[in-house]
């Protein structure tokens, strides 16, 4: 949807007609009216924030117009899709011990291999890492890499490294008798890694997670002109898709097996840069994350922390936290609330509607770059804001009245931004929201100082090691 200029409905029609699911537009419309489709809208979290409001509205209109069909929207947590009207929220539960065992049993057919995986998982010394395997995707990847790496790594970055090692060395890591495939480019593993690192970084700063053949060709040509690796672009694309299966093809679009693989290579790219270039790279990402998407990028940031903790904190985390802190430093009362609203964009929405009447409200912060950073450092601020309204019954009733005053039909989409409602601003000010914001300010101050202190300690330790 980010690169599509037409409406949501036109996009659906184009996809279905081009894939020949239906022979023509008349048949498609007839089937659509009859309600025979299940629409699975994957990757909501990847929609650019600048387009999200329009797309939300178009999805709502499409669902209303063709309500006989079934619709599923998937997303990472924290993308703003929660409590979307006419949809129920479901979260993927972590796999239980029995689920993990059953999953392995279904995937692994070889009895000996299955037994060795069971033994490793049951080993008490691996209990601390078992949480990795409660995620179906990571469990699948672990099974795939088991023959090459029969251990559970204690870092995400090591885990993804193992996945890439396996994909490079085997055509099909799922079977016992898998075999190496010829690589048209004749490139070595380090060459592929260098290309994938660069490609992943370039695509991430442009906000792309799926790629056309032309887009990949353009990026790989640019990479070839700037690295000491020689290859034919078409051969490399073939190798990436077929020989090592690091890119998958669906219709006309390529993508990584999971977005986290792209994030791993992008984080690895930055970690390999000279120190003075890392500042530029992290600044580029800051600009991208602020402008292109309200997705929570915590997985990417955690990978950067593992691979490049000191300079990630110095050039990315601290500067962005400092920007937030500086905006609320020294402010009080009305001025503090006003600046906080600009940073976190709190909004009020009717969480419970009965017979077209709002019976309960909640206050949330918008999913934007600032709130994602605050969540990453575990400030718990969004939770405190949520509880602030939920636990105050009198305040809740006052906020309920706001919806009747503005004569809006009760609907989740009719959330009210505090910045756009002067009455709501005054109510929050009178009901002592300021102490919550002051607590956030104090937490930021302490966190920034601690991060700086950690960098200083690490530098001292390195200096001591280098002393002759």
Which of 136, 169, 202 is the last residue before a domain boundary?
Answer: 169
Q: Within a domain: residue 253?
A: no
pLDDT at 274: 95
Question: Structure tokens of 13?
Answer: 């029609």
Collect the ranges in the chain with pLDDT lower than 50: 171-179, 410-413
415 and 286 share one domain: yes
In a domain, 184, yes or no: no
CA distance 95 to 97: 7
Is there a domain that residue 54 lies in? yes
Chain centre distance of CA 379: 19
DSSP assignment of 318-368, as one string?
Answer: HHHHHHHHHHHTT--HHHHHHHHHHHH-EEEEEEEEETTEEEEEEEEE--S
DSSP state of 93: P
Both 136 and 16 in a single domain? no
In a domain, residue 268? The reply is: no
How many domains are there within the chain? 3
Looking at the fold, whether 54 and 113 belong to one and the same domain comes out as: no
Domain match, 359 and 416 both: yes
Task: Assess whether 69 and 109 both reside in one domain.
Answer: no
Which pLDDT belongs to residue 173? Answer: 40
| 296 domain-assigned | yes
Instruction: Please give the helix or strand (H or E) that residue 48 lies within, else none.
Output: none
Q: Are residues 459 and 414 in the same domain?
A: yes
Same domain, 392 and 299: yes
CB 318 within 8 A of CB 451: yes
Mark which of 23, 39, 73 sits at the end of a domain.
73
Residue 139: the pLDDT is: 84
Question: What pLDDT is recorded for position 292?
Answer: 66
406-415: long-range contacts, CB 8 A cutoff, minimum separation 24: 409/356, 410/350, 410/353, 410/356, 410/357, 410/358, 411/85, 411/350, 411/353, 412/83, 412/84, 412/85, 412/349, 412/350, 413/56, 413/57, 413/60, 413/85, 414/349, 414/350, 415/347, 415/348, 415/349, 415/350
Same domain, yes or no: 46 and 101:
no
Does residue 190 lie within any of the structural domains? no
What is the tens place of the pLDDT at every residue in 69-116? 999 999 876 566 766 777 888 888 888 889 988 999 988 888 888 888
Residue 239 lies in a domain: no
φ, ψ dihedrals at 3, nearest 5°: -105, 0
Q: Where are the alpha helices (DSSP H) in 44-155?
A: 49-65, 97-107, 111-122, 136-145
Q: Which of 169, 197, 220 is the last residue of a domain?
A: 169
Range(s) of the domain holding residue 379: 276-468
157 found inside a domain: yes
pLDDT of residue 177: 40
Residues 324 and 412 in one domain: yes
Asked whether the beta carbons of 178 and 170 are under 8 A apart, the reply is yes
């Amino acid at each position: 949807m980010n690169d599509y200029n037409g409406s949501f409905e036109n996009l659906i029609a184009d996809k279905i007609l081009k894939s020949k699911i239906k022979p023509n537009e008349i048949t498609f419309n007839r089937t659509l009216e009859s309600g025979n489709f299940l629409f699975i809208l994957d990757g909501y979290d990847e929609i650019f924030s600048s387009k999200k409001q329009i797309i939300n509205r178009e999805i709502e209109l499409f669902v209303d117009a063709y309500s006989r069909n079934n619709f599923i929207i998937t997303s990472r947590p924290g993308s703003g899709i929660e409590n979307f009207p006419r949809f129920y929220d479901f979260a993927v539960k972590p796999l239980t011990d029995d689920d993990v065992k059953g999953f392995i049993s279904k995937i692994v057919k070889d009895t000996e291999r299955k037994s060795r995986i069971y033994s490793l998982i049951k080993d008490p010394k691996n209990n601390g890492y078992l949480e990795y395997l409660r995620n179906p995707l990571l469990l699948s990847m672990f099974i795939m890499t088991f023959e090459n790496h029969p251990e559970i790594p204690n870092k995400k970055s090591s885990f993804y490294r193992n996945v890439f090692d396996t994909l490079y060395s085997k055509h099909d890591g799922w079977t016992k008798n898998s075999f190496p495939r010829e690589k048209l480019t004749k490139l070595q593993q380090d060459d592929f890694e260098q290309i994938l690192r660069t490609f992943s970084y370039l695509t991430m700063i442009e906000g792309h997670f799926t790629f056309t053949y032309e887009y990949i060709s353009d990026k790989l040509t640019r990479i070839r002109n700037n690295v000491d690796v020689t290859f034919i672009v078409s051969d490399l694309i073939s190798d990436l898709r077929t020989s090592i299966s690091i890119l998958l093809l669906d219709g006309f679009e390529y993508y990584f097996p999971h977005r986290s693989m792209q994030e791993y290579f992008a984080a690895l790219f930055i970690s390999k840069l000279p120190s003075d270039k890392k500042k530029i790279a992290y600044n580029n990402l800051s600009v991208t994350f602020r402008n292109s998407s309200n997705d929570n990028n915590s997985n990417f940031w955690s990978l950067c922390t593992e691979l490049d903790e000191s300079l990630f904190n110095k050039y990315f985390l601290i500067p962005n936290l400092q920007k937030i802190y500086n905006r609320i430093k020294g402010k009080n009362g009305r001025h503090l609330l006003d600046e906080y609203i600009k940073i976190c964009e709190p909004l009020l929405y009717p969480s419970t509607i009965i017979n077209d009447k709002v019976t309960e409200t909640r206050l949330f912060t918008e999913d934007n770059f600032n709130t994602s950073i605050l969540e990453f450092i575990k400030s718990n601020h969004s939770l405190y804001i949520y509880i602030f309204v939920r636990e105050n019954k009198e305040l809740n009733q006052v906020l309920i009245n706001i919806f009747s005053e503005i004569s809006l039909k009760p609907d989740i989409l009719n959330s009210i931004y505090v910045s756009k409602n002067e009455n709501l601003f005054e109510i929050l000010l009178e009901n002592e929201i300021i102490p919550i914001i002051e607590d956030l300010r104090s937490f930021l101050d302490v966190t920034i100082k601690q991060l700086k202190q950690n960098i200083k300690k690490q530098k001292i330790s390195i200096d001591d090691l280098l002393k002759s």
